[in-house]
Structure formats: structure tokens, C-alpha cells
Amino acid sequence: MAKISPVIGRYVTIEVDDLEYRVFWLENGEGPPLVCHHTAATHNHQWRHLLEDEDFTSRHHIIAYDMARHGKSDPPQNAEWWKEDYRLTADHFVNFVTAFCDALELDQPTFIGSSFSGCVALHLALRCPERFGVIIALQAAEYAPGWWLDWWRHPHTNAAQVCSSGVWDMMAPMSPDNERWLPMWYHMQDAEVLKGGLHFYSMDHDLRGRLNEIDTGKCPLVMMTGSYDFLTPPAVTKATADQVAGCDYVEMEQLGHFPMSENYPLFKPYLNKALELIANKRA
Amino acid sequence: MTEAETAVKAEAWAEKFRQATESDPVIQCYAKYYTCDFLLDMEDLRVGVQIRDGQMHKIEINSAPLEPHHFSLHAPAETWRKMSEKRPKPFFHGFWAASVREDLRIEGDITVLMQNLRNFTA
């Protein structure tokens, strides 16, 4: 008998800053919405395990979408995007996330983002905390300079292999090979968009001096980072979290930059811990 | 350890490195065009490696100072030891991690490194 997953995929058309996007998402589960965002130059398959984990889908409506220009979400439909050098900004990123949540009429969703979407999670916490019930920022920092590089799209190299091989060391060596090669594969698939996404990550994203403005009384914030993540090491995330009153910080042992994808069994208890921390605070 | 013992150990390591490269299925499935020359500077030892289409063309222990290569990796011996542990500690688990967060330096023609990155990383 065929193994058919309960996860389904759908599209919604949204408008963000006068750009029209057809956004693809995967969903499964019942309960309060948990919106999941992937890392730069990958797609919602990073959340493939969470989407099929009954421990979570029995109590959450898991929604994992593809950011525009990633996976099955195309570039804007009403712009000649091929004539532009794509550079994601904080404003556009925040507007995209909120427009998507509005389009699906999600009420106070939990937002969980990782890497560049972990960083935008901090912007969401700062700019529109009332829109979200909980924000979980994985592999995030107040400032992450130095990664907007031509190597991600250099005509003299195989950009797909550069983008993917560059992330190998971001993962923990004890994560299983078959799981580590999938983030590599996803980066090979979406390599063309990496530099544009890292424009936000390394050039436009800078919350130094503003973290004290984040009000965790309006929306709880948890920050978590894998101990093997050289891009955003635990010390950097902790230094960010320490500047946000009421923010919880968790170091994820034996995990790297793609915890939900490279070793889900190790990541799962940390996700539970983040949700428990919030629940305990509310109680 | 005497100089002679060090030399024997280094030659044995070089042979292991050659075999590992030529038998690694990840490298060999994309071996064509994996061609570059690099230097591994391990403080006590300098190893010059020449690879041609995924096969070890030459590996030289204590490579001469002006021996040409495309790119090089430099780190103290202790860093290389930490990187070769079975379960390396964070940031000693790969050359990118060690170059960004520890004391490994990458020098030379980075374009050639990037062109061969997939197999060099493997």
C-alpha cells in the first residue's frame, strides 16, 4: 500500500509592497497555528519532520511556507524581476511574513524562523509583537555581517556547489549523513537566491542598540542556537538574547545551523522546551 | 619522536590520505575536473597535494617553500589535531568553521578553492 503523507500543499496570492506573489505552503495538523519559515536559499522541506510529527500536529496547525523566490514560490508575478539584482530588505521581509499570515487569517500564530528568518523574527518581535502569539528565533543574532558575498553567485564557479558545500560545516558532525545531505541538496536547488537573501542578513539587518525596545510582555520570545553553528555561534545568540528583557535563551547541544532538518529527533525536545517555557510564563 | 620516526609516520598518513581521497564515493562520483594543487601547513609539517580529476597525482611531505600551489590552509598543529578527532568540538569540525571561529587561515587563489569546493569539503 502506498505511503501517502497527510501533509497537503496549497497556494495563496498575496501583495507585498506592490509586488504580487503566489506563495506555496505545506500544512498539517489541528490547533493554534505554528508558522514555520526556512533558512535562506532553501525551502519548506526543512520542516518535513515537524509537519508529520503527530506529537505536534495533534496540538498545532503546522504551516511551512516557501518565501518568495524559494522552492515553489516564484519571483513576483507583476515585475520584470530578471532585470533586477535581488536584494531582500528588512521592511519587505517583515511585510511578506505579515501579509502571508493575514492572507491565511491566522490568529496570533506562533512564528518560528531560522537563520535569516530567525533574524526577521527579531524584527517581528520589535515591530508587530501584537500580531503573533509567540516568536521563536533559531540561529539568530542582532547583527550578522560579512556574508553578502559574490561567491554565492560567481560566474567562474559552480554556485550550486559553493552554496551547498559552504553550509556543510554549519551542521554538527554527529548529525546523520542522510539528514545532513538534504540541507546541502536544498541549497543546490535554490543557490541563485542566496546572495539576495543574505543582503537582508548581512547588510540590512542590524538591531544593535534596539533590542531593549522589544516588549516580550506583548509577545514572548525564545532564542535557540545549535552549539556547532559557526555562522551564528551560541555566544552571539546569547549576547543578543541577554539584551531583550524577558527573552529566554537555549543552546541546542550537538546541533548546528539547521536543527529541524539535520537532526530532528535531537531538535524536537528543544522545540518542546521552548513552548513549555512560554506556557509556564503564561501560567 | 625522532626525525626518522616522524618521517615514517608522515608517509603513512600521506598514503592514508591518498587512499581516502581515491576511494571516497562522494568525491569519486564527481571526480572529473576535481583538479587543484593545495598546501596543508600544519606548523610542524607542510604537505603539498596535487589532485588530477579526483586522483592523487602527488603528495609531498615537507613540501619545499616555493613549491607552487593554488591555495593553502594554515593552522597550528594543535588545531589540526583537534580537527582530526573522531568527535571534534564545535568549530574544529570543518575547515570553514575553524577559519571563521578558530585560528585556521585560508590563503591563495580562493577561486580555485571555490571551483573545487564540493570535493575538497568532502
CA distance A281 to A137: 17
Residue A79 forms contact with B (CB below 8 Å): no
Which of A162, A173, A233 lies closest to B93 in CB terms? A173
Contact B100 A230 (CB under 8 A): yes
The overall average pLDDT reported for chain A is 96
Would you call B87 and A168 a contact, using CB atoms and an 8 Å cutoff?
A: no
Distance between CA atoms of residues A180 and A185, nearest Å = 9
Contact B115 A169 (CB under 8 A): no
Which three-class secondary structure string do you get for A223-236? EEEECCCCCCCHHH
CA B108 to chain centre: 14
pLDDT at A19: 98
What value does the mean pLDDT take over residues A169-176?
96
B115, closest residue in chain A (CA to CA): A157
Confidence at A97, pLDDT banded by 50, 70, 90? very high
User: Chain A partners of B121 at a C-beta cutoff of 8 Å?
Assistant: 165, 168-169
Residue A267: predicted pLDDT: 98
- CATH code where residue A172 lies: 3.40.50.1820
> Given pLDDT bands bounded at 50, 70 and 90, which one contains residue A205?
very high
pLDDT the model gives residue A27: 98
C-beta atoms of A228 and B97 within 8 A? yes
B44 pLDDT above the threshold of 90: no
Has residue A202 got a pLDDT over 90? yes
Model confidence at B9, pLDDT cuts 50, 70, 90, reads confident
Phi, psi of A35 (to 5 degrees): -95, 125
Residue A266 within any structural domain of the chain: yes
Residue B73: how many other CB atoms lie within 10 Å: 21
**For residues A126-135, average pLDDT:** 97
**Residue A180 has what pLDDT?**
95
* Residue of B96, B110, B115 with shortest CB distance to A169: B96
**Cβ–Cβ below 8 Å for B114 and A157:** yes
Listed as own residue / partner, the contacts of A204-210 with beta carbons closer than 8 Å and 24 or more positions apart are: A204/A87, A204/A88, A204/A89, A204/A90, A205/A90, A205/A116, A205/A119, A205/A120, A205/A123, A205/A143, A205/A144, A206/A142, A206/A143, A207/A122, A207/A123, A207/A126, A207/A142, A207/A143, A207/A240, A208/A142, A208/A143, A210/A126
pLDDT tens column, A252-280 = 999 999 999 999 999 999 999 999 998 88
- Residue A247, classed as helix, strand or coil, is coil
Write out the residue range of the structural domain in which residue A174 sits. 8-282
Q: What residues of A are in contact with residue B96 (Cβ under 8 Å)?
A: 166, 168-170, 230
Its pTM stands at 0.95
pLDDT for A144-160, tens place per residue? 999 999 999 999 999 99
Closest partner residue to A230 (CB to CB) among B96, B111, B120 is B96
Question: Does residue A26 have a pLDDT over 80?
Answer: yes
Q: What pLDDT does residue B81 have?
A: 95
Q: How many domains, in total, are found in chain A?
A: 1
Q: What is the pLDDT of residues A49-93, one digit of tens each?
A: 999 999 999 999 999 999 999 999 999 999 999 999 999 999 999
Tell me whether residue A137 is in a domain. yes
Residue A176 has a pLDDT of 97
Interatomic CA distance for residues A120 and A131, integer angstroms: 14
- Using a CB-CB distance cutoff of 8 angstroms, which residues of chain B are in contact with residue A173? 87-88, 93-94
Instruction: List chain A residues with CB under 8 Å of B95.
Output: 169
How confident is the model over A152-172, as a mean pLDDT? 92
Average pLDDT over chain B, rounded to an integer: 92
**Chain B contact for A156 (CB, 8 A cutoff):** yes
Nearest-angstrom CA–CA distance, A120 and A93: 7
Residue A204 domain flag: yes
Domain limits, chain B = 3-121
What is the pLDDT, as a whole number, of residue A93? 98
Please report which helix (H) or strand (E) contains residue B48, including its range: strand B46-52
Q: DSSP assignment, residue A72?
A: T
Structural domain B3-121, CATH architecture: 2-Layer Sandwich (3.30)
The reported pLDDT for the residue numbered B8 is 82
Decide if pLDDT at B7 tops 90.
Answer: no
Inform me whether the C-beta atom of residue A170 falls under 8 Å from chain B C-beta atoms. Answer: yes
